[in-house]
Amino acid sequence: MPLSVSVSASARGYARLAFYDLVEVRPTGPHSLSGTGAPWVRLTQGPRSLGLGSDAAVLAVLLDVPTPGLFALPTPPVFVPTSDVTMHLAPTPEGPSTSWCDWTYLTHGTAWATDDQCVDAAQAWTADGRLLAQATQTRSVRWT
């Protein structure tokens, strides 16, 4: 996992959305079906000021950051709303906990897709390579 990056936060796949007022995103490469440039992400404010009362809530927000992989298609869908989200927390690692202001590394990709549904999978990692959580999102695919 790369620890040093210098890719613009305005890289393809990261359109300006209100959601991005809550998080800082640093993509490490271009958006693709297999991933969104594996971004580094962190909250812009303390979790309590955002109404996030637990590490699990912070991870749920961060795991929702990656843009759906289908948006990397030459003719992307118009809308890809989430119909189901499942998040699994990794066992709490020994050692210092991750602070809300620490950078979290996300890996992400489309596991499978049909004309009307897809599943994206994402994983959240600490800077030293410890898995924090993983999530899957089942999405409806809207082409018009």
Would 12 be classed as within a structural domain?
no
> Letter for the amino acid at 55?
D
Give the C-alpha separation, 27 to 25, whole Å: 6
Number of domains in the chain: 1
* Whole-Å CA distances, 30 to 34, 50, 60, 115: 10, 29, 23, 24
Would 1 be classed as within a structural domain?
no
How do residues 96-108 score in pLDDT, each as one tens digit? Answer: 555 656 899 999 9
pLDDT classification of 89: cutoffs 50, 70, 90: very high
Counting residues of the chain whose pLDDT is more than 90, the rounded percentage is 38
The tokens describing 90, both together, are 């990794």
How do residues 109-134 score in pLDDT, each as one tens digit? Answer: 899 999 999 999 999 999 888 899 99
How do residues 14-34 score in pLDDT, each as one tens digit? Answer: 456 677 788 888 888 777 766
Give the C-alpha separation, 47 to 142, whole Å: 33
Would 101 be classed as within a structural domain?
yes
Q: What does the pLDDT read at residue 67?
A: 84
55 pLDDT higher than 90? no
Would 11 be classed as within a structural domain?
no
Cβ proximity of 89 and 133 under 8 Å: yes
Domain of residue 102, residue span? 18-140
Would 6 be classed as within a structural domain?
no
In this structure, the chain runs to a length of: 144
Strand ranges for 6-93 from DSSP E? 23-26, 31-32, 35-36, 40-43, 82-89
Would 22 be classed as within a structural domain?
yes
HSE at residue 71, side-chain half, CA atoms within 13 A, is 19
Would 78 be classed as within a structural domain?
yes
9 pLDDT higher than 70? no
Would 80 be classed as within a structural domain?
yes
What's the average model confidence in pLDDT over 27-55?
80
95 pLDDT higher than 60? no
Average pLDDT over the chain, rounded to whole?
A: 81
pLDDT classification of 6: cutoffs 50, 70, 90: very low
Element of type H or E holding 55: helix 55-63
CATH number at residue 74: 3.10.129.10
What's the average model confidence in pLDDT over 70-78?
89
Give the C-alpha separation, 106 to 124, whole Å: 5
